[in-house]
Structure 1
């Protein structure tokens, strides 16, 4: 239902904004492209300010759920002995009945990570963009396991059983994610310099190194 609601509310807005956009270069060069896009669509500064503030309020209200979800993931990781001081962070508060320690840890991490934007927008944007690559890697891992271990033995009973086609889907998905991973790590422009380099590959290697150490 959340996917349907998101599609039904966001897609018409995107189509309307794209249809009424008059200057693509101005949007691309704007410090805040979304505001420039809304301004071109409404041709009214007051309406633009109102809609931008409305979107900002929505973004702020969704932030707590983000670090709470991150706290749950960190707790699961600590429960499986994947974090330093796992025993401490895997504790669940008996009174509040949720993992307070990892939620606070996630909150502090988000605050410190936000400061990175002040130091280097390139590094900040590289880490943000690398989330696309990391998300796709998480899709590839279980599909790879099914290819090696066998779908029939390890998948539970289900309404939609693809049979032999399932192996093709798994294999194609993994190959596509490999291609996507290379494409995501490509530099945005040529020639490449220190300032214009795509640092996603650096972020990916650094994160995997941290995971291996943990």
Structure 2
């Protein structure tokens, strides 16, 4: 792409040029709202933790997988981003593309070939589809674990394991069905689909935030209650935890903002409404049903003794 592109931006343009087409008068706000894409890329690095019960030596394997995926994919993604920025051409032309996908217009500009642009777009599409496989695996494993511990409706059925294949077939089918339903939302309403994406990112950010805050509290006030595993960051751990909390709180706030001004029913970010509804539902459903049968994750001994059938 770098060879075939007819234009090239300067390093000054790539690293210092800022273009605000969002309608927000404050560039810092516009930039902060634009963090959604970068946050979405990072939501999968905890996938290994959800499969830790299936791993040998998970104490070392899980952190290696989490850190390794960032060390490998981070530089590759950054290199791809630099190539796009240096050779993408006019931003306005990319945004005004009749395809509705600026990246397709950028590929066409950089290669000058419809076939090449189509091939590159197809490669990204295939990678996006393949990336859903580990996400599906992690989501199904989480659903099965919650059902096994009695934390979901129809827990006994969802927690069942196929005796021949030794996999949680029901949870896989349920998660797959829900994913297909969510994908159909984009056909009816792009606004609703974008709200689901924002909600997914914000919810995951919040799920990372709470345990880190509790860990900081125990580091500072109850260090004697912590049991460290073989993988530890030592003195760097606390500063990293604090930076993570600041970042997560910052992104959780701005990811709930509408992406464009002026705000209309079409471009409104409805993630706060959906998130509020989910919280209200949880506050009602927990005391009425779940708290009576869910007492937290079960130990291996309880599972082996037949607590869950």
| TM-score normalized by the length of structure 1 | 0.87
CA shift for structure 1 position 77:
1.7
- The whole-number CA distance in structure 1 between the counterparts of 2:174 and 2:204 is 22
Sort the Cα spacing of 1:113 and 1:20 in 2 relative to 1 into closer, same or farther, 3 A. Answer: same
Alignment of structure 1 residues 128-207 onto 2, 5 Å: 128-149=197-218, 150-157=222-229, 158-162=231-235, 166=238, 169-207=240-278
Match of 2:78 in 1: 11
Give the SS at the match of 1:81.
coil
Judging changes above 3 Å, is the alpha-carbon distance between structure 1 residues 48 and 91 closer, same or farther for their aligned structure 2 residues?
same
Task: Tell me which residue corresponds to 1:56.
Answer: 125
CA contact (8 A) 1:27 1:33 kept: yes
Q: Whole-Å Cα distance in 2 between the matches of residues 22 and 204 of structure 1?
A: 38
Measured after TM superposition, the shift of residue 171 of structure 1 is 4.5
Per the TM alignment, residue 169 of structure 1 is displaced from its structure 2 partner at its CA by 4.6
Matches within 5 A, 1:113-128: 113-128=182-197
Greater Cα shift, 146-155 or 34-43: 146-155
In the TM superposition, what is the alpha-carbon distance from 1:97 to its structure 2 partner?
1.1
1:86 deviates by 1.0
Q: TM-score, normalised by structure 2?
A: 0.62
Larger RCO (alpha carbons 8 Å, 6+ apart): 2
Quote how far apart the aligned CAs of 1:106 are: 0.4
User: What is the distance in 1 between the residues matched to 2:144 and 2:157?
Assistant: 10
Deviating 4+ runs (over 6 angstroms): none
The CA distance in 1 between the partners of 2:75 and 2:252, in whole Å, is: 30
Return closer, same or farther for 1:4/1:178 CA change in 2, 3 Å cut-off. closer
Change in CA separation of 1:29 and 1:50 when aligned onto 2, cut-off 3 Å: same
Q: Paired residue for 1:108, among 174, 177, 189? A: 177
Structure of larger gyration radius: 2
- Contact 2:144 2:168 (8 Å CA) reproduced: yes
1:81 aligns to what? 150
SS of 1:111's equivalent? Answer: helix
Q: Is there any run of 5+ residues in structure 1 with no aligned partner, and where? A: none
SS in 1 for 2:120: helix
Larger helix proportion, structure 1 or 2?
Answer: 1
**Does 1:41 pair with 2:110?**
yes
Report how many residues are paired. Answer: 212
DSSP 3-state at the match of 1:83: coil
CA RMSD of aligned residues (A): 2.3
In the TM superposition, residue 80 of structure 1 has moved relative to its aligned partner by 2.4
